[in-house]
């Protein structure tokens, strides 16, 4: 066992950005308040002083403009990390992402690569109400041409960016505001994250809990509690929401014969919808119980804490859902 270090999710993200800036001159970070302010969530604090204005660019509130410029810069030889402060503002540059980043390679018959990385913080959990609590991963995961990844663990917070920057295709990275202060132990030498594969975070034989993002630690906690009751749950962190690593979860469900799909995004047409459909298509005869989904309640996220908590699956919900599947 190698040495571990204790690190917050925020520090892990920052370490990833810093390493990327060190390793490649073509990499630069652009986004609202990433420089002088230190990042809206203090993720890039101190980087301006370290790398200078050329590498850490504050930009005006022009999400469509600077995301488009990031895409353009990537067409012309740079490796931009574009930070959209939160996914809540992501409908503004959505045209740039869906109509340019995702299509240029295809429309040009394979001539143009778009090696841009777009980071967005997402998720609920800070009582920010309806306009600032979106889980819009599924909107992006819908679009062919994008690689959509979700940072569910501290290891990935540190390792995902470098792999994303090596991709010749546009990568959208979702990070989670509510996890920024969480501390965890990660191997001191934890390296780049494989963004083509889902990750089994806990092996088990009774049921597959398939999730991503904030759902990962929640599912692991639920699995821990369930194990005290003798239920051996497998937890899969999808990690890459497009293109999905189907092999991983199909194999898992073929082993456990049961699946619970967990995510914060509204249930109608979310990532779980797709995972569920694929299980039906590829592993129907392996199923010993209907696939169940635990998704966001279909409501604009309300402000009061208790209602906010009730809007998305919690550890207890996961625990209870598993029990209900195993003991109908």
Partner 1 sequence: MTEFLMPSLGADMEAGTLVEWKKKPGDQLKPGDIIAEVETQKGLIEIEVFEAGILEDYLIEEGDKVPVGAPMAKLKSEGTPGKIPEKDSETHPIQEKEQATESEGPVPSDSISEETSSKEKSSEEKHRIKASPLARSIAEKNNVDLTSLTGTGEGGAITKADVEQAMAGEKETPKQSPETTAVKDTVEKKAEQETPSKQVMEPPAPSSKPGQQESIRAAVAAAMSRSNREIPHYYLEKKIDMLAAMSWLKDTNRQREISGRLLPAVLFIKAVAKAIDSTPALNAVWDNGLQLKNEVNIGFVISLRAGGLLVPAIRNADTKNVDEIMTALNDMIPRARALKLRSSELSDSTITITSLGENGAEKVFGVIYPPQVAIVGFGSIVNEPLVHDGMLAVRPVLHVTLAGDHRATDGLTGSRFLEALNNHLQNPEKL
Partner 2 sequence: METKDKLSAEKAEKLLYQLLLMRKFEEKSAELYTKEKIRGFLHLYIGEEAVATGVIQALKPEDNVLGTYREHAHALARDVDAGAIMAEMYGKQEGCSRGRGGSMHIFDKEKNFFGGSAIVGGHLPLATGMALASKKLKKDNITVCFFGEGAAAEGIFHEALNLASLWKVPVLFVCENNLYAMGTALRFSHAVQEIEKKGQAYGIESKAVDGMDLLKVMAAANKAVEQVRNSGEPYLLVCNTYRFRAHSMFDAELYRKKSEVEKWKKRDPIPKFRKYLLKENLISETQLQEMEERLETEIQKAVDFAEAGTWEAKEELTRFVYSENPES
From the list 44, 74, 276, 311, which residue makes contact with partner 2 (rule: CB under 8 A)?
74
In angstroms, the CA 73 to CA 29 distance is: 12
Rg (CA), the chain: 19
Count the site residues for partner 2 by CB under 8 A. Answer: 45
In angstroms, the CA 160 to CA 300 distance is: 30
Q: Is 215 in the site for partner 2 (CB under 8 A)?
A: no
Contact 151, 97 (CB under 8 A): no
CB of 228 to partner 1, least distance (A): 8
Region binding partner 2 by CB under 8 A among candidate stretches 31-39, 59-67, 178-186, 260-268: 59-67
Q: Is 256 in the site for partner 2 (CB under 8 A)?
A: no
Dihedral-angle region of residue 265 (phi above 0 means left; psi in -120 to 50 means alpha; beta otherwise): beta
Which residue, 93 or 296, is less far from partner 2 as judged by CB?
Answer: 93
Q: Is 227 in the site for partner 2 (CB under 8 A)?
A: no
From the list 72, 125, 192, 302, which residue makes contact with partner 2 (rule: CB under 8 A)?
72
Which residue, 106 or 205, is less far from partner 1 as judged by CB?
Answer: 205
SS3 label, residue 176: strand
Identify any residues that bridge with 209 across adjacent strands, giving them in sequence order.
235, 260
Q: Is 328 in the site for partner 2 (CB under 8 A)?
A: no
From the list 42, 107, 188, 305, which residue makes contact with partner 2 (rule: CB under 8 A)?
107
Residue with tokens 């306009």: 131
Q: Is 314 in the site for partner 2 (CB under 8 A)?
A: no
Region binding partner 2 by CB under 8 A among candidate stretches 44-52, 92-100, 248-256, 304-312: 92-100
Q: Is 302 in the site for partner 2 (CB under 8 A)?
A: no
Helix (H) or strand (E) holding 272: helix 271-283
Region binding partner 2 by CB under 8 A among candidate stretches 121-129, 143-151, 215-223, 227-235: 143-151
Closest CA to 196 of 252, 245, 236, 143: 245
Among this protein's residues, is 154 annotated catalytic? no
SS3 label, residue 234: strand
What string marks each residue from 246 to 265 as x (binds partner 1 by CB under 8 A) or -?
-----------x--------
Among this protein's residues, is 155 annotated catalytic? no
Largest CA distance in the chain: 60
CB of 319 to partner 1, least distance (A): 8
Q: Is 33 in the site for partner 1 (CB under 8 A)?
A: no
From the list 109, 230, 306, 327, which residue makes contact with partner 2 (rule: CB under 8 A)?
109
- What is the torsion angle, in degrees rounded to the nearest 10, for the CA atoms of residue 292, residue 294, residue 297 and residue 298? -50
In angstroms, the CA 241 to CA 47 distance is: 29
How far from 227 is each of 210, 231, 320, 321, 323, CA to CA, in Å? 17, 5, 13, 14, 11
In angstroms, the CA 16 to CA 156 distance is: 9
Count the site residues for partner 1 by CB under 8 A. Answer: 20
From the list 139, 147, 219, 275, which residue makes contact with partner 2 (rule: CB under 8 A)?
147
SS3 label, residue 140: helix
Tokens of 30: 């652009």
- Catalytic residue selected from 19, 132, 246, 257: 132
Give residues in contact with partner 1 (CB under 8 A). 205-206, 226, 229-232, 257, 284-290, 323, 325-328
Binding interface with partner 2 (CB under 8 A): 26, 28, 54, 59-60, 62, 64-78, 80, 95-96, 99-100, 104-113, 115, 144-145, 147, 166-169, 243
């Amino acid at each position: 066992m190698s040495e571990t270090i204790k690190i917050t999710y925020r520090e892990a993200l920052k370490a990833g950005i810093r390493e990327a800036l060190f390793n490649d001159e073509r990499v630069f970070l652009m986004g609202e308040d990433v420089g002088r302010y230190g990042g809206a969530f203090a993720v890039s604090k101190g980087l301006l002083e370290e790398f200078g204005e050329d590498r850490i660019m504050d930009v005006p509130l022009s999400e469509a403009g600077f995301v488009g410029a990031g895409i353009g810069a990537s067409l012309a030889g740079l490796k931009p990390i574009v930070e959209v402060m939160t996914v809540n503002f992501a409908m503004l540059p959505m045209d740039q992402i869906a109509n340019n980043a995702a299509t240029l390679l295809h429309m040009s018959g394979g001539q143009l690569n778009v090696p841009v990385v777009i980071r967005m913080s997402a998720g609920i959990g800070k009582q920010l109400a309806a306009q600032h609590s979106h889980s819009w991963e599924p909107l992006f995961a819908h679009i062919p041409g994008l690689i959509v990844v979700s940072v569910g663990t501290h290891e990935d917070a540190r390792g995902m960016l470098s792999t994303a920057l090596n991709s010749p295709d546009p990568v959208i990275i979702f990070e989670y505001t509510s996890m920024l202060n969480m501390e965890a132990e990660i191997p001191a030498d934890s390296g780049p994250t494989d963004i083509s594969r889902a990750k089994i975070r806990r092996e088990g034989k009774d049921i597959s809990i398939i999730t991503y993002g904030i759902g990962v630690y929640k599912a692991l906690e639920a699995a821990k509690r369930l194990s005290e009751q003798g239920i051996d749950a497998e937890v899969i962190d999808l990690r890459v929401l497009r293109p999905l690593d189907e092999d991983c979860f199909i194999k898992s469900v073929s082993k456990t014969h049961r699946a619970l799909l967990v995510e914060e995004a509204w249930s109608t047409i979310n990532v779980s919808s797709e995972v569920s459909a694929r299980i039906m298509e590829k592993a129907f005869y392996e199923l010993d119980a209907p696939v169940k989904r635990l998704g966001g309640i279909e409501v604009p996220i309300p402000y009061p804490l208790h209602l906010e908590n009730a809007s998305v699956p919690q550890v207890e919900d996961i625990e209870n859902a598993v029990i209900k599947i195993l003991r109908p």
